[in-house]
Amino acid sequence: MIAEAGLAALWLAAALAGLQLALAFGLGGEKGRSVSTIRGVALAQGLLTLLAFGALISVFLNSDMSVLLVAENSHSEKPWLYKFAGAWGNHEGSMLLWVAVLALSGAVVALFERRLDDRTLGATLGAQAALALGFFAFLLFASNPFERLDPAPIDGRGLNPLLQDPGLAFHPPTLYLGYVGLSVAFSLAVGGLIRGNFGSAIARAMRPWVLAAWVLLTLGITAGSYWAYYELGWGGWWFWDPVENASLMPWLAATALLHSVNVLAARDGLRAWTMMLALIAFSMSMVGTFLVRSGILTSVHSFAVDPTRGTFILALLAIYIGGALILFALRIAHVKEGAPFELVSREGGLVANNLILSVILGIVFVGTLYPLIAEALSGEKLSVGPPYFDSVASPMALVLAALMMIAPQLKWRRDAAPILPRLAPGLLVAVAALAATFILTPNIGMLPRLGLAIGAGLLPASLLPLFGRSLRRTPLSIWGMAIAHLGVAVAILGMASDSAFTEEKLAAARPGETVSVGPWLVEFRQVMPVAGPNWTALEAELRASKGSGAVVLNPQSRYFPSPPTTTNEAAIDTSWNGQLYAVLGERDEQGRWQLRLWWKPFVTLIWLGGILIALGGAIALVGRMVRERRQRIRGEEAFL
């Protein structure tokens, strides 16, 4: 019953999306009254989609095995959190979540957007409806989450044990909110292009969405990275896996957009460029969805390989991205040139930021799609992995970080004052750090060495824009920028430290033996059987000591009966200066156990940096909203 209600809600929402599209571009979209109708339709569409998603969660929580999706992906013995999160731990459910966020974003725009004129808002909601319509069709015709199974099995197949982790409850929804939040920027750009509105009003409407989506993408990527780090047991935090790249590409585009939308909102410059980026950012979200959902690339995240789905999403992609680019090409001649600026200015710095981010995006894009293109053209099968991305994308990222030392301190329009005094603090620290690495650790690679130097220099440089201001009267958005840039410095230091100083030990040990890794002496005490709610495990007891203190680590080798799978659960001990990471392998014929140990100095800075970046974005978002509210109230008072 609930499943049918969910399906009905989905059909109804799809019909409303069609109606919304028609109202926006067909039936007298010029009148003010029809905009309020469109607003209502968008709201109803969002609520119905939310209802459908609620229905899916309900059938998962109740373990309704007569629903095909539940039977294939859930199990009645599973802890409730994984039943709940299992609703989106599969293809159909995750697409429903995607569409639900898309429709709800449209509803929120319809409810709260007051900055835009009716015509532009109508066209924007029309574009949002057009997006929703395609993905509703995909859901209803190619991935129905509510399909019934008759006869119903006694119990389900269970959720992939790798996904049975609290991270699943948090990571995909956060990323999806970020991916799909960018759809609003896309729709606003389309609406603006159609109605010939390219000014700062569009940018101001776009900015909170870009900021919020970017904050969530940052959090989602950070969480996903940490999740892969501890769950996969490979000791790595980024694998340049196609799906990771699929989330990185929208993030890169959104980062560029975030910076250029500020120029448009504050200075009315970079008009065409900002519109283009808004189109590209959500296009990258769709490309990411295509890569993940079509199962076309080898990846941990591909749920199933189904050619019809891949073709369907590819068609949607071609329509939306192609349509948007054609619209851009047709309308771009009507975009008047924005306010002028000189090369050495804040705008100039932001243009450089955008160009470098675009180059990195291009490098990641080419590397991710190259295997597909090569196979299509020459039939050769190949994969592009860390050697490519590390050596091509990472140096560009360091160039960008170096630029961050000076650009935020430049003045708008033109900056004639000498640069060097403002650059000096960061530069001195960077040079000192570089010298220190040559003296203390002469044998590390060039890239981590530069990373340590530039990261260290960026620490003070990122805070310089706060210098000489009254800290209490500094706008929140400046604080946000400084904190986010500080986060970049922290993350770069963590990445460089991890790749420069990580020590790894692979050993076969009997209980009672001691293994050393980095500064740690690890005593392998024993292996004991333990049991969890839906798994049994062999658990090792490791006593790690360094000087006086000692910690106990318990890496496990877990066995899940449904579906029958073994997974490694790494044990991680976090101290202020790094992490000790232990994985238990198999036992050999002579009674020795495989142990893999890592000592990773300051690796936690990577995720701390990610959190700081997101925090900076959140602070800037709050600052913008408070300021706009104040301005609106002031405006209303002046009107009275």
Partner 1 sequence: MKVKPKHQRLVLVVLAATAMIGAVLLAMWGLQDRAAYFVTPSDIAAKKVPADKSMRLGGMVVKGSLKRDPDGITIRFTVTDGKAETPVVFRGITPDLFKEGSGVVAEGRLDPNGLFVADNILAKHDERYMPPQMANEAVPR
**Contact map string, positions 514 to 533, toward partner 1, x by CB under 8 A:** --------------------
607 binds partner 1 (CB under 8 A): no
Q: Indicate which single residue of 26, 196, 340, 561 sits in contact with partner 1 (rule: CB under 8 A).
A: 340
Q: Output 387 or 512, the one with its CB closest to partner 1.
A: 387
Report whether 108 contacts 181 (CB < 8 A): no
Q: Where are the alpha helices (DSSP H) in 2-117?
A: 2-25, 32-61, 68-73, 80-86, 91-112
**Beta strands 549-553 and 536-546, pairing class:** antiparallel
Interface with partner 1, residue 614, by CB under 8 A: no
Q: Using CB under 8 A, which residues numbered 186 to 225 contact partner 1?
A: none
What CA–CA distance (Å, rounded) separates 239 from 233? 12
Site map for partner 1, 116-145, x if CB under 8 A? Answer: ------------------------------
Q: Which stretch binds partner 1 (CB under 8 A): 51-59, 245-253, 383-391, 445-453?
A: 383-391
Site string for partner 1, 562-581 (x = CB under 8 A): -x-xxxx-------------
Which of the stretches 140-148, 299-307, 463-471, 631-639 binds partner 1 when contact is defined by CB under 8 A? 299-307
Minimal distance in Å, beta carbon 626 to partner 1? 33
**Interacting residues with partner 1 between 142 and 171 (CB under 8 A):** 157, 160, 162
Of 314 and 355, CB closest to partner 1: 355
Tell me: does residue 588 bind partner 1 (CB under 8 A). Answer: yes
Given the rule CB under 8 A, which of 11-19, 213-221, 357-365, 515-523 is the region that contacts partner 1? 357-365
By CB atoms closer than 10 A (0-12, 13-18, 19+), residue 76 is middle
Among residues 187, 200, 358, 437, which is the contact residue for partner 1, using CB under 8 A? 358
Which window, 29-37, 43-51, 339-347, 622-630, contacts partner 1 (CB under 8 A)? 339-347
Identify the residue among 304, 528, 626, 633 touching partner 1 (CB under 8 A).
Answer: 304
Only one residue has tokens 């995750």, namely 94
C-beta contacts of 470-479 below 8 A and 24+ residues apart: 475/623, 475/627, 476/619, 476/620, 476/622, 476/623, 476/624, 476/626, 476/627, 477/619, 477/620, 477/623, 477/624, 477/627, 479/616, 479/619, 479/620, 479/623
Q: Pick the binder of partner 1 from 508, 551, 611, 625 (CB under 8 A).
A: 508
Separation CA 547–CA 182 (nearest Å):
51
Tell me how far apart the alpha carbons of residues 312 and 334 are, in angstroms, rounded to a whole number. Answer: 34
Nearer to partner 1, 147 or 586 (CB): 586
Asked if 506 interacts with partner 1 (CB under 8 A), we say yes
Question: What residues between 72 and 101 interact with partner 1 by CB under 8 A?
Answer: none
Q: Which residues pair with residue 587 across a beta bridge?
A: 593
Q: Return d(Cα 108, Cα 188) in angstroms, integer.
A: 13
Residue from 298, 308, 526, 577 touching partner 1 (CB under 8 A): that is: 298
Considering the complex, what minimum distance in angstroms separates the CB of residue 38 from partner 1?
Answer: 34
Tokens linked to 255: 């980062």
CB of 131 to partner 1, least distance (A): 26
Burial (CB count <10 Å: 0-12, 13-18, 19+), residue 417: exposed
- At 566, phi and psi to the nearest 5? -110, 135
For position 388 contacting partner 1 by CB under 8 A, the verdict is yes
> Which two structure tokens, joined as six digits, stand for 45?
């569409």
How many positions of this chain bind partner 1 (CB under 8 A)?
A: 64
- Taking CB atoms within 8 Å and a gap of at least 24, the contacts of 621-625 are 621/208, 621/211, 621/212, 621/215, 621/480, 622/476, 623/475, 623/476, 623/477, 623/479, 623/480, 624/207, 624/208, 624/211, 624/476, 624/477, 625/208
Q: Which residues bind partner 1 (CB under 8 A)?
A: 157, 160, 162, 233, 270, 272-273, 295-298, 300, 302-305, 337, 340-344, 351, 355-356, 358-363, 366-367, 370-371, 374, 380-385, 387-388, 391-392, 396, 506-508, 563, 565-568, 583, 585-586, 588-590, 592, 594, 596
